[in-house]
Amino acid sequence: MRRILPLVALLLAAAAPSARAVLTIEITRGIEGALPIAVVPFGWQGPAAAPPLDIAAVVAADLRRSGRFAPLAERDLIARPTRAEEIRFPDWRALDAGSLLIGRLRAMGPDAYTVQFQLFDVFRGEQLLGFSIPARGDTLRRTAHRIADLVYERLTGERGAFDTRIAYVVALPEAAGPLRYELKVADSDGFDARTVLRSPEPLLSPAWSPDGERLAYVSFEGGRPAIYVQEIATGERARLASFAGINGAPAWSPDGRRMAMALSKDGNLEIYVMDLVDRSLRRITRSLAIDTEPVWAPDGRTLYFTSDRSGRPQIYRVPAAGGRPERVTFEGEYNARASVSPDGKRLALVNGDGGRYRVAVLELDTGLMRVLTDGTLDESPSFAPNGSMILYATRDRGRGVLAAVSVDGRVQQRLVPEAGDVREPAWSPFNQPTE
């Protein structure tokens, strides 16, 4: 029997066990020749003890997990400068550190700080970057991610995505029988995880709003699937779609005004678009096949979706206003669960061949497909907002974990939960609010 489309399988059956809260990142593959950089512990200026967060350690960890940088170990640092005049560039050249990051944290009042940092080209002895960022105690970790983004962009020419978040679904075993499901949001490095929703029933398909303030998701509360939208900051939520049959796979339009979804309210599972102001529906596909998992192109004019109208699941595209669908994937017996890159040039998807399901990238202009992962059940790919990495769910020693791979396949990470299983990842957009 052929594999059922993942969304339909999960909506027609109970979701498999999913995970806990804190995620530990393991870098399983990096780029050979990663750029050496020295990240010096930041100095402290204040009347009391320094805050417990080590800003430099967070920045170094961010750069290391990108796979593009090789921060020097703290024990190998030959000095601890916090100001430009304290730097002896010849000493750092001897360590072959191409770049040097220094900084200091200054108390400005009760729970108020200024974080100052400077990035230098060691071999030229020149400053490349320098900023002063205000922060509170509860925003220091985010400030560290912002610094890592600025350093990454200055040295690579690409925007960083460390100051972003990930959403994922966790299932925890209860002492007496059934699983407890939790929808969680964490920083992109797995820290500061918090639970958005707890439920005794499965939760599926979290999707970020374009402003990063809300999540849409599928909940089985009440014994049947329904689509909800929830404010992350307040927890306030509303039921968006609870028609008879399947309500699944919500996807926000780029302007946040519409929601694509898969509904079977008219008998067959089809793609619909809902206007979020008046809740009116437009049916996009009309087929005897299963049409599901819609995603938007960045310009909001095209929808990509999964359909088995050719006999097996493949990716198609259709105008968002409706029209004739066009098949996009042809390589492999199974292609599903598309995610569109921020520039609209690539699709990340699940490619199935020979009983193995792996994450692949399809170049839309050439039709070239490259398989990036080597698992047997890799699923739910989600692009980082800068398009450099793809987050996905996989299995590791019998457990559900999250993993990430660069679009060229050269950098691989694994985000390991402390307990249980985790799946259904979604990477946030850039423009998240300050909390």
**What would the CATH number be for the domain defined by 32-156?**
3.40.50.10070
CATH 2.120.10.30 domain residues, the chain? 165-428
Q: What is the pLDDT of residue 435?
A: 45
Instruction: Measure the CA–CA gap between 336 and 320, rounded to whole angstroms.
Output: 19
Q: What is the pLDDT of residue 7?
A: 42
The answer to whether 186 touches 169, Cβ cutoff 8 Å, is: no
pLDDT tens figures, 374-397: 999 999 999 999 999 999 999 988
Judge whether residue 123 has pLDDT over 60.
Answer: yes
List, in sequence order, every residue forming a beta bridge with 204; answer none if it has no partner: 218
Q: Which of 404, 420, 400 is nearest to 412 (CA)?
A: 404
Structure tokens at 333: 């017996």
Coil, strand or helix at 380: strand
User: Mean pLDDT score of the chain, rounded to an integer?
Assistant: 90
What are the start-end ranges of the H helices in 268-381? none
Instruction: Measure the CA–CA gap between 191 and 50, rounded to whole angstroms.
Output: 20
CATH 3.40.50.10070 domain residues, the chain? 32-156
Q: Which DSSP letter does residue 19 get? A: B
Q: What is the pLDDT of residue 24?
A: 64
Instruction: Measure the CA–CA gap between 322 and 319, rounded to whole angstroms.
Output: 5
pLDDT, greater one: 274 or 414: 274
Least confidently predicted of 20-29, 149-158, 189-198, 246-255: 20-29
Least confidently predicted of 15-29, 179-193, 212-226: 15-29
The answer to whether 40 touches 80, Cβ cutoff 8 Å, is: yes
**Would you place residue 27 in the very low, low, confident or very high pLDDT band (cuts 50, 70, 90)?**
low
Judge whether residue 402 has pLDDT over 70.
Answer: yes
The answer to whether 413 touches 403, Cβ cutoff 8 Å, is: yes
Judge whether residue 331 has pLDDT over 50.
Answer: yes
Structure tokens at 165: 């978040």
CATH class of the domain defined by 165-428: mainly beta
Q: What is the pLDDT of residue 419?
A: 66
Coil, strand or helix at 266: coil
Coil, strand or helix at 46: coil
pLDDT tens figures, 235-282: 999 999 999 999 999 999 999 999 999 999 999 999 999 999 999 999
pLDDT (average), residues 316-333: 96
pLDDT (average), residues 171-191: 87
Q: What is the pLDDT of residue 3?
A: 45
Q: What is the pLDDT of residue 17?
A: 33
Judge whether residue 2 has pLDDT over 70.
Answer: no
Judge whether residue 418 has pLDDT over 80.
Answer: no
Give the pTM.
Answer: 0.90
